[in-house]
Structure 1
Amino acid sequence: MPSPWRLLASAFSRSLTRVSTRRSFSFSSHLRNQDLFEYTSGRWLVNEALRLDERKVVFNVAELGRLAAQSVNRSPDHVAYMEKLAEGDYNREILITMRDGFKMVAHIPYQCTIPRYFGVASEAATMAFLRFHGIPIPEVYGYSADANNPAGTEYIFAESIRGTKLVDQWFDLAEPDMISVLRQLVQLEKKTMSICFPAGGALYYTKDMEKADAQHTPLDDDPRFCVGPDTRSQMWFGKRSEMDVNRGPYKDVKEALSRPAEKEWAYLTQFGPQVPWDPSARLLHNLEQQQPSDHTESLRDYIRIAPLLIPKDPALSRFPIRHREARAENLIVSRSSDGTLNIVALVDWHHTAILPAFLLTNLPYESEDSSQSTRPSLPENFDNLSPRSQDEARDIYQCRLVNYHCLAEVAKHNPAHYRCMVDLMTGMCRHLLSFAGKPWRGLSLLRGLVVGVTRAWSRLNEIDGGGRGPGPCPLWFHLEVVEETDILAEDFMEASDQVKELQSLVAANWKNWVHVEDYERALEVAR
């Protein structure tokens, strides 16, 4: 069973994200341009000056307005004013209003957003391509993946969608409305995932890959587009962005599974030991520098066994595309005249990957139970809980209810995708890849997953029987290694629970971020 504290902290973190997306940050035109450059949506309890500097983007406001007007065939004097609309994890949104009332949105990536050129180029191409294929996505009017332009920053100019973010009403929706929206989302995802690509990685305009002299695979039916390097942040984090490693396109499933691990292997070989970055690992290892040898061994083991977990059904190994986080924060909705709540746009397509179908199975909300087959319920002692504990329990229940209904709709409308979501073998492969490809930050939890897979190996063969299972396991571990791995996992979970408990008490999310108005109180509690 998941730890109650882990569920509580996870839900509380989600609650913080939900509140932050409810707020818009508008500035009248008489205020200094500096307000468009600075991050103002929240505060950090740790390393705040660095976090703010990473998100500061200075650009030429007049030139950005001129380029925006040009992208929609208007003259620069048609621009009435600009205002900061919102600030997300990866970019700042600036609402540009014309004198005739026309509105558009400029998406400007932060300095810390990686990769910059490939990220912007891929997001713009992905939006245009999927919109062409009937997916409700804001129209892209223009973009620049290179900051070497008159505005002095990368940007995407996109349509301003009429409607409200689903997150503003998601946790107050009646259950029939929730089910209706999830059904629409599942049907949209079925449509996007029916498009098959010739390789894995990310989607681009071919001209952008030629400009960057990057490896790419053109689409047979539309050579304007191609598959190029994977833009997921794990492939570029920190000094990894400076390394010449293969980030795609992945020609087959084995490459899609191995390249992220090989990237991490190359990084550890070059840069070696480090002090743990994760607060839980710091607590566990007392800020002592850790050697990467255990993790590199685990990467070797992963590369040996991961290909054996590839589904035998070729339909599950094809390369489709799926939104990175298709949930309430990224859905814009409106009600029709008959009262139906309709999805009018699916937004935020940065870091969208093209991967084997069996790897694209995340639920709307993070969960340690991938099946979610049983309808959730509130705690039996709910009426006796404090108001704050009731809010937290209700939040956890709502997230589980969303996952439950989402899986039910996937089972009805996309059965092949559903099989991937609940299949034990493909689930293990996904978990292995998620840890093998993540940046190593001083603690190796991959070994525990590898050991867990070897323990379950005979069961995998029994489930898939008839020669369809993974066959003999190529790995074997001494009992003492298994015991050490179990102890490390238990110690880490205990440390992680302590850190998350403190973060939830302080009202900070996992990045130690808090709302501006909560900063002083959070800082005092943290002290």
Structure 2
Amino acid sequence: MRSAFSLFRKQKRMPSYPSGHSTNSLNRPSHTSCNTNDDWFRYTRGRFLFNEAQEISSRYVKFNMEEFIKRATESVGLTSAQCARVEKLPDGMFNKTFLFTMHDGTQVVGKVPNPNAGRPHYTTASEVATMDFARNQLRTPVPKVLSWSSKAEDNLVGAEYIIMEKVAGVQLSKVWPTMGIKERFELVKTISGYQKAWMSISFTQYGSLYYSSDVKGGLSIPNHHRFAVGPSTGREFLDDGRIALDFDRGPWTSVEQYKSAVGLREIACVQNMTRLPRSQLSLYGPGTYLCSRSKKIAALECYLRLVKYLLPTDPSITTAFLWHPDLHAENIFVHPERPAEVLGIIDWQSSELLPLFDHARQPYFLDYDGPLLTGIDPPAFPEGFDKLSSVEKAEAQDLYLKMSLSALYRRFTSGNNETLFKAMEFRQTTSFEMLLLAHNLLIDGEAIYQSRCLDLEKEWTALLGVQAAGSPPFPLLFSADEVALINEDASGAVRGMELMRSLRQSLGQMWPDKGVVRAEQYDEVKKLLKQAKAELIDKLAHSNTERLAWEEAWPFDS
């Protein structure tokens, strides 16, 4: 089940800082109040293919744009009358972002969180404190915050907001395709340097960072008394309906306490949600795997019995650090003529103080579709390259170059940041896989998890955490009937993943990542999905009952 298990590895989140051209703009002054333009407040970047009304509602935030303009101009010592232009940049998944241009050419960026961005006060308060700490303590090129409020009821804007400097340069995504391998590697070394800087200050608590005055019950930080560790604002504690429920969000004083809280969080959500979220990785229906609350809870209870034995024994990689949560190419700004020179790193929302092994992945802009690399050796050149067609050669060479750059990152990290590399290596172990999958069992993965628990008994004595604990016996016991059911469920789950993979491949570039597409693609994608649904049901349903079950299981709106 290892190959199926790898599908559940944590994926990067959708960009929350927009790119591209503005979707709406207004020259100032105007005879019409800014507040009459509803496009400022609603999600306008695309259409959702499942539960669209709720998705749009969770991204609608009404506020006083006139007051927001006033705050933006005052942040640079000007008046509202001196604001020449307001542009709404393309929506992120969690925020509205605006560019304010003054008559003298000064520009600032204003950001308003959507209701789905996080719990009121905490998300904004933590983001501002994190940006301050990263900029001034970790010496990272982060935009300076000029004005902010984390309490919508206490300001005339009527919403939480952050106003910050506009980052110079261009987004890495604009220049990455034209950069050569040497230039790309120079950029990789620059980012690695910032990662090493983030490890210059460690923490003894886990959660998110705040100003001490903004969080009740926060844990103080030695030598940094302006700041405190408080509840996590990480997306895993918010997404898929978790934001509405009460459970332990931290802070935590040990890695075991934090990882146990993850399992307890998922149990609380499974037990208390009115309806379980639909999987984005699998198509589940008759003949595949049928999920249930009891099966999810059973898997999570196994996780809680295992967790202390899965943790690394090396304290250097369980220590907490502050890390950027989303190093993709839209969040990194570089010099347009010297793209290896980083001018700014944006979008620190939802940053967490987590054990290093949770942070230690390669930057997202290095990701590729292909075999995972381990160690520090370069990838092998494609076999039979000379026998490939010209198209196949181009694809093989492109993959080889991407894998080579990833290998260079691993080799450079190994030589320049040994502790981070140790954490990266731990992520290749069974122990880490068993820790990682538990983070999202509310959504999917319980069948594969239980199957891996069966396999784990064979590897038990080899786990370092088990050896450090004195080699206790395997803590899980399954009857013959339970083993048979687990194997049956795992096979069904794999089939469900294969069905979703086939569906995704059939749509190709039209696939709605995270269920959202551009507005101009909406009708065409809905037509394609409707056709795919009909073909799937005709192929898989053998009775009216099964047809109805597949209709109910279909993850997109009709």
User: TM-score by structure 2 length?
Assistant: 0.81
- Paired position in structure 1 for 2:141: 136
**Structure 1 CA distance, aligned partners of 2:526 and 2:401?**
29
Q: Does 1:208 align with 2:188?
A: no
**Structure 2 CA distance, aligned partners of 1:154 and 1:465?**
47
- Paired position in structure 2 for 1:117: 121
- Paired position in structure 1 for 2:24: 27
Q: Does 1:145 align with 2:150?
A: yes
Note if contact 1:312-1:468 (Cα within 8 Å) is conserved in structure 2: no
Q: CA deviation at 1:481?
A: 3.8
Note if contact 1:320-1:357 (Cα within 8 Å) is conserved in structure 2: yes
Q: CA deviation at 1:420?
A: 1.6
Out of 234, 246, 253, the position equivalent to 1:232 is 234
**Length, aligned pairs only:** 509
- Paired position in structure 1 for 2:48: 44
Match of 2:243, as an amino acid? S
Equivalences for residues 487-502 of structure 1 within 5 A: 487-502=488-503
Note if contact 1:284-1:492 (Cα within 8 Å) is conserved in structure 2: no
**Structure 2 CA distance, aligned partners of 1:91 and 1:342?**
27
**Structure 1 CA distance, aligned partners of 2:208 and 2:302?**
27
Equivalences for residues 67-466 of structure 1 within 5 A: 67-133=71-137, 134-148=139-153, 149-209=155-215, 214-237=216-239, 240-271=242-273, 274=275, 277-278=278-279, 281-284=282-285, 290-335=291-336, 339=338, 341-365=340-364, 369=372, 371=374, 373=376, 374-375=378-379, 400-423=403-426, 427-438=429-440, 440-441=442-443, 444=446, 445-460=448-463
Match of 1:75, as an amino acid? T
Match of 2:267, as an amino acid? W
Q: CA deviation at 1:109?
A: 1.4
Give the gaps of 5 or more residues in structure 1. none
**Structure 2 CA distance, aligned partners of 1:491 and 1:395?**
35
Match of 1:349, as an amino acid? W
Q: Deviations over 1:421-471 (max 9, x none)?
A: 1136x843433333323261376243234334333223335xx99868865
CA 1:393–1:182: 2 relative to 1, 3 Å: same
- Paired position in structure 2 for 1:56: 60
Note if contact 2:127-2:348 (Cα within 8 Å) is conserved in structure 1: yes
**Structure 2 CA distance, aligned partners of 1:520 and 1:382?**
43
Note if contact 2:212-2:220 (Cα within 8 Å) is conserved in structure 1: yes
**Structure 1 CA distance, aligned partners of 2:525 and 2:383?**
28
When Rg is computed on C-alpha atoms for both structures, the one with the higher figure is: 2
Q: Deviations over 1:242-265 (max 9, x none)?
A: 443221111111111111111222
**Structure 1 CA distance, aligned partners of 2:217 and 2:265?**
16
Q: Deviations over 1:372-415 (max 9, x none)?
A: 7542656857986796x889877765654443332222112111
CA RMSD across the alignment: 3.5
User: TM-score by structure 1 length?
Assistant: 0.85
Q: CA deviation at 1:174?
A: 0.9
Q: Give percent identity, aligned residues only.
A: 25
Q: Secondary structure at the match of 1:329?
A: coil
Match of 1:83, as an amino acid? E
CA 1:34–1:386: 2 relative to 1, 3 Å: farther
Match of 1:36, as an amino acid? W
**Structure 2 CA distance, aligned partners of 1:416 and 1:288?**
40
Note if contact 1:201-1:354 (Cα within 8 Å) is conserved in structure 2: yes
**Structure 2 CA distance, aligned partners of 1:151 and 1:417?**
43
Out of 520, 525, 530, the position equivalent to 1:522 is 525
CA 1:495–1:266: 2 relative to 1, 3 Å: closer
CA 1:382–1:511: 2 relative to 1, 3 Å: farther
Q: CA deviation at 1:50?
A: 2.8
Match of 2:499, as an amino acid? Q
Note if contact 2:460-2:466 (Cα within 8 Å) is conserved in structure 1: no
Q: CA deviation at 1:347?
A: 1.2
**Structure 1 CA distance, aligned partners of 2:434 and 2:253?**
20
Q: Secondary structure at the match of 1:251?
A: coil
Q: Deviations over 1:216-266 (max 9, x none)?
A: 112221221110001112223455434432211111111111111112223
Q: Secondary structure at the match of 2:184?
A: helix
**Structure 1 CA distance, aligned partners of 2:502 and 2:26?**
42
